[in-house]
């Protein structure tokens, strides 16, 4: 039996992001990544790029020396699958050239 997860809208994810930003910065980083994916999937490349940059800024505040430090705490956010590990290299690989 498969369970379908409803995809959260970009607006719903942005609301979640704002709440997480004040309570759990790692969760906010994961949500920023999910927002980048969601906007990319919607075809809004500029908005996706904004969320990629937000995700990268947040990642700068976390250590990334071990797999344990970059392991995501959730498998998905709002129906968007997260990578197993979240760090700058993964983000740049998945979203390509950001300039």
pTM score, two decimals? 0.92
| pLDDT score for 69 | 97
Domain spans in the chain, listed from the N-terminal domain onward = 10-95
- Determine the Cα–Cα distance for residues 84 and 44; give it in Å rounded to an integer: 25
| pLDDT score for 96 | 87
At residue 1 the predicted structure's pLDDT band, cuts being 50, 70 and 90, is very low
From residue 21, give the alpha-carbon distance in Å to each of 8, 25, 27, 42. Answer: 18, 5, 8, 24
pLDDT at 98 over 90: no
pLDDT tens readout for residues 36-73:
999 999 999 999 999 999 999 999 999 999 999 999 99
Residue identified by tokens 């998905």 is 76
């Amino acid at each position: 039996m498969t369970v379908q997860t409803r995809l959260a809208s970009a607006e719903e994810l942005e609301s979640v992001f704002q709440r997480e930003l004040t309570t759990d910065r790692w969760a906010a980083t994961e949500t920023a990544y999910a927002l980048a994916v969601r906007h990319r999937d919607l075809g809004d490349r500029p908005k996706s790029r904004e969320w990629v940059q937000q995700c990268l800024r947040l990642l700068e505040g976390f250590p990334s020396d071990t797999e344990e430090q970059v392991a995501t705490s959730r498998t998905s956010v709002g129906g968007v699958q997260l990578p197993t590990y979240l760090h700058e290299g993964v983000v740049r690989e998945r979203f390509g050239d950001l300039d």
